[in-house]
Amino acid sequence: MTVQQLKDHLSLTALTLPDGEREIRGVYVGDLLSWVMGRARADDVWLTIMSNLNIVAVATLADVSCIILCEGMTLEESVRSIAEAKGVNILTTEAPAYETAKRLSEFGL
Amino acid sequence: MNEAVRFHFVVDGEDFTSAGQASVQVKKNLRRLGIPPEIIRKISIAMYEGEINMVIHADGGEADVLVYEDRIVMILTDRGPGIADVEKAMQEGFSTAPDNVRTLGFGAGMGLPNMKRYTDDMKIESVVGEGTTITMTVLLA
């Protein structure tokens, strides 16, 4: 499944979507950035409530397919534009991480 | 041994939010050299953790990345406070990071363990009051 398809299936809001054709292979949930870098795998969807600029670097370096900001978290415009420029997909949802993860599992992730 | 390709970076200690610039640049440079993606991922994560540590604890520092035919070596040097107990610092969950760093999602005590996890060899040379040099090697096998 691609990030674009995931967005459509789960009715997520795209804050940035520079690479909607990126394939998704798994899911990781976490807010401690070093923990995420240590444990998330390449091409995972990353569920978090963190929204500061460092998530853009973490997503780039850990090579995740997209970030889903849960609980209605959103981005400052300065962060959003950097994420867009660096090719990092960031989506947002009102649902908590657990609910979001349950829905992802319905799609075989 | 052929001469290494060398990249040198100055890590700015002032700006926490811009930490990662060196790692992202290394990632780009290695991709251009045709290094396999999984190796690049390991190196850029280890490098980023090192960069974050230098910003949090040492007011910045310098990083050198040397690309040899069979391995990549990262050398991170700072003139920070040094690490009093390296063994303790290597334990997952042990951290001396201040609270403002924790609210950004760092300071979980995973930095050094991640650097070790993602590299084939890691050496820490640290003198309290003088600074720290960390040398990490990733094999290109």
Which pLDDT band, with edges at 50, 70 and 90, does B115 fall under?
Answer: very high
pLDDT tens column, A12-45: 999 999 999 999 999 999 999 988 998 999 999 9
Q: Convert the pLDDT of each residue in B28-83 to its tens digit.
A: 999 999 999 999 999 999 999 999 999 999 999 999 999 999 999 999 999 999 99
Residue spans per domain, chain A: 3-106
Pairing, β B71-78 against β A66-69: unpaired
CA separation for the pair A32, B110 (Å, rounded) = 9
| Interchain pair A34, B49: CB under 8 A | yes
Distance (Å, whole) CA B41 – CA B47: 10
Name every chain A residue with its beta carbon within 8 A of the beta carbon of B105: 31-33, 50, 52, 54-55
**Cβ contact B105–A54 (<8 Å):** yes
Asked if A59 and A82 count as a contact pair (C-beta separation under 8 A), the reply is no
B→A interface, C-beta within 8 Å: 16-17, 19-20, 23-24, 27, 37-38, 41, 44-45, 48-49, 52, 104-106, 108, 110-111, 113-114, 117
Tally Cβ neighbours within 10 Å of residue B56.
22
Cα separation values, B101 from A20, A99, B52, B98, B126, Å: 32, 28, 10, 6, 22
> In this predicted structure, what is the pLDDT of residue B21?
87
Kindly tell me if the per-residue pLDDT of B124 is higher than 70. Answer: yes
Distance CA B134, CA B94 (A): 18
CA B112 to chain CA centroid, Å, is 8
- Whether the pLDDT of residue A59 is over 70: the answer is yes
Cβ B41–A63 below 8 Å, yes or no?
yes
Angle subtended at Cα B90 by Cα B89 and Cα B96, rounded to the nearest 5 degrees? 25
Q: How far apart are CA A57 and CA B56, in angstroms?
A: 16
Alpha-carbon distances, residue A89 vs A4, A51, A64, B37, B108 (angstroms): 10, 13, 9, 19, 25
What is the model's pLDDT at position A4?
98
Mean pLDDT of chain A: 96
> Contacts from B91-100 at CB under 8 Å and sequence distance 24+?
B96/B57, B97/B56, B97/B57, B98/B56
Tokens 């910045």 -> residue: B60
Q: What is the DSSP letter of B4?
A: P
pLDDT > 90? residue B20: no
pLDDT recorded at residue B16: 76
- For residue B1, is pLDDT > 60? no
Domain boundaries, chain B: 5-139
The pLDDT > 70 percentage for chain B reads 99
User: Which residues neighbour B62 within 8 Å (Cβ) at sequence distance 6 or greater?
Assistant: B8, B9, B10, B11, B76, B77, B78
Instruction: Report the pLDDT averaged over residues B115-140.
Output: 97
pTM of the model: 0.88
Q: What residues in A contact B16, CB-CB < 8 Å? A: 54
Q: What is the CATH number of domain B5-139?
A: 3.30.565.10
User: Which residue does chain A place closest to B104, by CA atoms?
Assistant: A52
pLDDT level of residue B138 (50, 70, 90 thresholds)? very high
Across A88-92, B3-7, B101-105, which has the greatest mean pLDDT?
A88-92
CATH of A3-106, one of 3.40.1390.20, 1.10.1040.10, 3.40.50.1820, 3.40.50.970: 3.40.1390.20
**Which member of A34, A42, A86 has the closest CB to residue B106?**
A34
Give the single-character DSSP code of B17: G
Q: Is residue B2 pLDDT above 70, yes or no?
A: no
Contact B106 A63 (CB under 8 A): no
The answer to whether the beta carbons of residues A45 and A68 sit under 8 Å apart is: yes
Contacts 24+ apart (CB under 8 A), B98-101: B98/B56, B101/B16, B101/B56
**Residues 6 or more apart whose Cβ sits within 8 Å of residue B98:** B56, B107
